[in-house]
Amino acid sequence: MSSISLQGLHHVYANGHVGLSNVDLDVHDGEFLALLGPSGSGKTTLLRSIAGFVQPEGGTLCLGGRPVAGPGVWVPPEKRNLGMVFQDHAIWPHWSVARNVGYPLRLAGLPRKDAEARVRSVLGLVGLDGLGERAPAALSGGQRQRVALARAIAGAPQALLLDEALSSLDEPLRARLRLDLKALTSEQGLTSVHVTHDRAEALALADRVAVLRAGRIEQIGTPQDLVRNPASTFVASFVSDAVLLDGTWVEGRLELAGGISIPGERLDAGPCVGADGLGHSAVAVTAAVSPMDLVLHPNNAGDTGWAPTGVVTSALYGPHGFDVSADWQGRTLRAHVTGWVPKPGDRVSPEVLRAHVFASDAVGPAAGAARPRLVPA
Ligand SMILES: Nc1ncnc2c1ncn2[C@@H]1O[C@H](COP(=O)(O)OP(=O)(O)OP(=O)(O)O)[C@@H](O)[C@H]1O
């Protein structure tokens, strides 16, 4: 059964801003769903609708099969049995850790002994064993966020809602809490919805990721789906930082400016591009190339089939190689470089290992119609 089910959820704010536009979504029992999207895409409105802080104008919302919002139905936030964690942890500074964590249990009228045992147990689950009597001021930022998490799960909520819950933490604390959160939610079978701006975090944590744009779900899928089969140029560039290149689809090949050609076996084409009848005539297309699928060869590496060379404009070192930007024919290419040390001014020959091709009219909000499929090599 779906823990959280939305049908046609719709909300326009009083100022005319569209918060949600006919959103359908099912979050399964025990699933970890991340909501990802640019600022203003509706992530917070969606999360706050589930929590009950926003009353949607239209559509239906069910929790555990029970309608909580819809025509003639409204269940207030405190009656929804949800746990929430916010970016700024929002714990009471003048209460001990144990008192903070036990607050929802006291509200629910749990006997004192049972509440104390539950508080000890959830403090153990979040890695705060023995810190119940501490004052929040005597904790680190990461520990305070663990207190907020413990409080959110203390009452055995139907689902856990996380609103940029890790965003205020610095690396490597954030990476550590990310791992612990993943372990905790899967061990406890907690249905979780996590709003984040951070692509890497969404891909690392979630069973599925919903990519929002202008109040709609542009694509929902596993992290692998979104990276390997983006439904639109928007998803490719937002999720994988793909570069978009205009070209022409001719006889199963992609022709780019300057007489550069990418063979069909390196392309994943949407059906409107590769369908019979279109494949034999020239069609304007947009190719999305992720930095992982673009190789920048030092210029002395010989002919790669990409005749014009580019020039490195920036090379940022990281633990797994360099993130490189290069100017190529007036466009900025992005690639992940390993095996040599690039520096600004170096000349490079780009080679596309793989590109997703979309019909040019698929660029934009209607792009969800373009469903890429793999062209077998
Ligand atoms: N309280 C509000 N009153 C009016 N408009 C709002 C309100 N909250 C959000 N909006 C508008 O609704 C749309 C969706 O906003 P929302 O905050 O849900 O997006 P978001 O993806 O969470 O953005 P961010 O990542 O910046 O938090 C935006 O156009 C925003 O300006």
Per-residue pLDDT tens for 287-321? 999 999 999 999 765 555 555 788 999 999 998 89
Distance between CA 119 and CA 307 in Å, rounded? 66
Band of pLDDT at residue 167, cut at 50, 70 and 90: confident
What's the pLDDT score for residue 368? Answer: 35
Ligand 1 pocket mutation, candidates 9, 10, 11, 13, criterion most atoms within 8 A of CB: 13
Ligand 1 pocket mutation, candidates 9, 10, 45, criterion most atoms within 8 A of CB: 45
Distance between CA 54 and CA 213 in Å, rounded? 19
Of 51, 50, 43, nearest to 19 by C-alpha is: 43
What's the pLDDT score for residue 258? Answer: 65
Q: Which atom of ligand 1 is nearest to the CA of 14?
A: 4
Distance between CA 45 and CA 53 in Å, rounded? 9
What's the pLDDT score for residue 110? Answer: 92
Average per-residue pLDDT for the chain: 87
What's the pLDDT score for residue 270? Answer: 59
The total number of residues shown for the chain amounts to 377
Checking ipTM against 0.95, whether it exceeds it is: yes
What's the pLDDT score for residue 307? Answer: 57
The answer to whether the CB of 16 is under 6 A from ligand 1 is: no
CA-based max dimension of the chain: 77
Ligand 1 pocket mutation, candidates 10, 11, 17, 88, criterion most atoms within 8 A of CB: 17
pLDDT value at 273 more than 80: no
The answer to whether the CB of 313 is under 6 A from ligand 1 is: no
Residue 41 C-beta-side C-alpha neighbours within 13 Å: 21
Q: Please name the residue whose Cα sits nearest to atom 1 of ligand 1.
A: 13
Q: What is the pLDDT of residues 74-92, one digit of tens each?
A: 999 999 999 999 887 678 9
Q: Is pLDDT larger for residue 36 or for residue 328?
A: 36
The answer to whether the CB of 43 is under 6 A from ligand 1 is: yes
Instruction: Output the CA–CA distances (angstroms, integers) from residue 193 to 4, 27, 75, 190, 337, in the order listed.
Output: 10, 8, 19, 10, 34
Bin 156: left if φ > 0, else alpha if -120 < ψ < 50, else beta. Answer: left
Strands of the 58-63 sheet, one edge to the other: 18-28, 2-12, 58-63, 66-70, 73-74
Q: Which atom of ligand 1 is nearest to the CA of 44?
A: 22
pLDDT value at 326 more than 60: yes
CA 16, 21, 26, 31 torsion-angle sign: negative
CA 142, 145, 151, 154 torsion-angle sign: negative
Kindly report which listed range (54-68, 116-130, 288-302) carries the lowest average pLDDT score: 288-302
What's the pLDDT score for residue 89? Answer: 66
Band of pLDDT at residue 275, cut at 50, 70 and 90: very low
Q: Which atom of ligand 1 is nearest to the CA of 197?
A: 25
